[in-house]
Amino acid sequence: MPWPSRTVYSLKRSLQRVNSDEADYLFHGHYLIGSYKYAAGDQYPGVDNLAGWYNRNLRILANVHQLAEKPDDKIFLLIGPGHLPIRRQAARSTPEIKFTEVRPYLD
């Protein structure tokens, strides 16, 4: 998905773009095809870096859990698009969380 550097979008259009399936593929894919391939012998600096990134994302999700004081609390998380796929997967796999996509609200 090309992202022209000189095109100006409205806030609504920008949010629609970064919350699209294409953006998931582009931004999250960056982490999965990037430096993780760098390895030599028993050294895996790329994998270790990626594991740190996943750790950070899971810690953010743990912090969201701590914010909820009652089971029916609603929490809005605004975060960069590269973080969304792992957050979405983790939230959907957590019975205590009802993950709601923002996409329908942007149409």
The structure tokens 């953006």 sit at 23
| pTM exceeds 0.75 | no
Mean of the pLDDT values across residues 13-39?
A: 80
Mean of the pLDDT values across residues 10-36?
A: 80
Checking 68-76 for CB contacts under 8 A at 24+ apart, the result is 68/96, 71/96
Mean of the pLDDT values across residues 78-101?
A: 84
Q: What is the pLDDT of residue 78?
A: 85
pLDDT tens digits for 54-88? Answer: 899 889 989 988 998 888 899 888 888 778 888 88
Please list, in sequence order, all residues whose beta carbon lies within 8 angstroms of the beta carbon of residue 40, skipping any fewer than 6 positions away: none
Q: Higher model confidence: residue 84 or residue 4?
A: 84
Q: Give the separation between CA 103 and CA 18, rounded to whole angstroms.
A: 10
Does the pLDDT of residue 3 top 70, yes or no?
A: no
Q: What is the pLDDT of residue 5?
A: 64
